[in-house]
Amino acid sequence: MGALRDCQVDARQTEDGTPLPPRASSIIELLFPFFFQKREKKSRGEKMLVVRKKMLGQSLLIRPAVSVLRSYSSSAKQMTVRDALNSALDEEMSADQKVFLMGEEVGEYQGAYKISKGLLEKYGPERVLDTPITEAGFAGIAVGAAYHGLKPVVEFMTFNFSMQAIDHIINSAAKSNYMSAGQMSVPIVFRGPNGAAAGVGAQHSQCYAAWYASCPGLKVLTPYSSEDARGLLKAAIRDPDPVVFLENELLYGESFSVSDEVLDSSFCLPIGKAKIERVGRDVTITAFSKMVGHALKAAEILEKDGIDAEVINLRSIRPLDRSTINASVRKTNRLITVEEGFPQHGVGAEICASVVEESFAYLDAPVERIAGADVPMPYAANLERLAVPQVEDIVRAAKRACYRSVPLAAAA
């Protein structure tokens, strides 16, 4: 079914806005649509090239998908989150001499996670600085540089290590503009992987979104896709306030399609605006960072059960896009909040409170929270799986919110 669709006249676009290939220009395409079908996550170019070579022997006018990919101005190019971050850093450093990068292994090692690959070579050691393992010291130095007009990007190897520098993030950076009545703005970005990786244990797996987002004066961003990574990092670097930019190690290698608009060096996303990744009618699922992927998978599963979930990619934890969340809940009347971090006093708790305050009359079910387990992260694989939200957890909670299928247990 999909194959034939691909060959028809296109005035339509797929749900995510990428246009479909043109109508078949030859009988061969109609007879053998299989070869021209759009396939996800495959090396399409290579496969189509092979097919074309086979067909050329008959000198047919075929328009293989590979040229389709190139000829459309907003065609889908794939980009990893890692490359998205790298390109964003590169472009912002190129555009503004005041931007510099500082952190452990960002220079000669090319970045602990290779996010800063190639930047030392391009910008030199004055702008890409390898620091000793002294978070309090170098975070303080970066904030001081920001006081004096530079625009530092500080990399924490993981945000677990940011706790050693948290006094500078909060007391020296976040509060300065307020305490000085506007004299001391701090245009700094603190970035790095946040939350759980795989098997790294309790001291390397905490999510700090709720901690930083509670502090006025900070902006806290949580990209999911490559588009998010590019647009939000550029916005963060250009922003005159301190921004905590929470990435995720497990997302670095994931590829997402990016349009030409996203690839343009002036591309920027607004801070404080969530994105509705999937429009739905029955239940709202909010998520950020890696959990957006889980929420989208859960939505696919729920669809089969007749539940049409709306998935909101928060993108910004502070400022929180309360209006998008509330508008969605007013439409669906049910809410699941999903986060990776510890449940108590977490992001979901704030979203729940916000919805109860603003949209109580619209709720048809209690707000459900899916969060990491209320324990330090264990190492054993099975326990780790239990400690981090899984897709099934989101599905189950959504069903609860929709059917209230689990009766309330009476106290014994």
Number of residues that bind other proteins (CB under 8 A): 48
x/- mask, other proteins, residues 339-378, rule CB under 8 A, reads: ------------------x---------------------
Candidates 96, 142, 87; CA nearest to 118 is 87
Is there binding between residue 300 and other proteins (CB under 8 A)?
no
CA–CA distance, 155 with 190 (Å, rounded to integer): 6
Identified binder of other proteins from the candidate list 21, 192, 195, 217, rule CB under 8 A: 217
Question: Are 167 and 201 contacting, i.e. CB atoms less than 8 angstroms apart?
Answer: no
Question: Are 341 and 209 contacting, i.e. CB atoms less than 8 angstroms apart?
Answer: yes
User: Taking the complex as a whole, how short is the minimal distance between the CB of residue 267 and other proteins, in angstroms?
Assistant: 18
Question: Are 285 and 311 contacting, i.e. CB atoms less than 8 angstroms apart?
Answer: yes
Torsion of CA 109, 110, 114, 119, to 10 degrees: 160
User: Whose Cβ is closer to other proteins: residue 322's or residue 330's?
Assistant: 322
Q: At which residue do the structure tokens 């590979």 appear? A: 66
Is there binding between residue 12 and other proteins (CB under 8 A)?
no
Tell me the CA distances in angstroms from 103 to 117, 141, 166, 191, one per residue in order.
Answer: 13, 11, 15, 10
User: Taking the complex as a whole, how short is the minimal distance between the CB of residue 51 and other proteins, in angstroms?
Assistant: 50
User: Taking the complex as a whole, how short is the minimal distance between the CB of residue 153 and other proteins, in angstroms?
Assistant: 14
Identified binder of other proteins from the candidate list 20, 48, 93, 142, rule CB under 8 A: 142
Is there binding between residue 96 and other proteins (CB under 8 A)?
no
**Binding segment (CB under 8 A) for other proteins, from list 3-11, 75-83, 137-145, 296-304:** 137-145
Full DSSP string of 275-299: EEEE--SSEEEEE-THHHHHHHHHH
Is there binding between residue 216 and other proteins (CB under 8 A)?
yes
User: Whose Cβ is closer to other proteins: residue 178's or residue 403's?
Assistant: 178
Catalytic residues: 135, 204
Question: Are 387 and 372 contacting, i.e. CB atoms less than 8 angstroms apart?
Answer: yes
Q: Across 93-161, where does the E strand assignment appear?
A: 99-103, 128-130, 151-155
Identified binder of other proteins from the candidate list 124, 199, 319, 376, rule CB under 8 A: 319
Q: How many CB atoms lie within 10 A of CB 392?
A: 12
Q: Is 135 helix (H, G, I), strand (E, B) or coil?
A: helix
Question: Are 294 and 394 contacting, i.e. CB atoms less than 8 angstroms apart?
Answer: yes
**Binding segment (CB under 8 A) for other proteins, from list 61-69, 133-141, 338-346, 369-377:** 133-141
Contacts of residue 407, Cβ cutoff 8 Å, sequence gap at least 6: none
User: Taking the complex as a whole, how short is the minimal distance between the CB of residue 137 and other proteins, in angstroms?
Assistant: 3
**Binding segment (CB under 8 A) for other proteins, from list 57-65, 214-222, 324-332, 369-377:** 214-222
Identified binder of other proteins from the candidate list 38, 63, 82, 168, rule CB under 8 A: 168
Is there binding between residue 2 and other proteins (CB under 8 A)?
no
User: Taking the complex as a whole, how short is the minimal distance between the CB of residue 220 and other proteins, in angstroms?
Assistant: 12
Binding residues (CB under 8 A) for other proteins: these are: 100, 126, 129, 131-132, 134, 136-150, 167-168, 171-172, 176-185, 187, 216-217, 219, 239-241, 270-272, 319, 322, 357
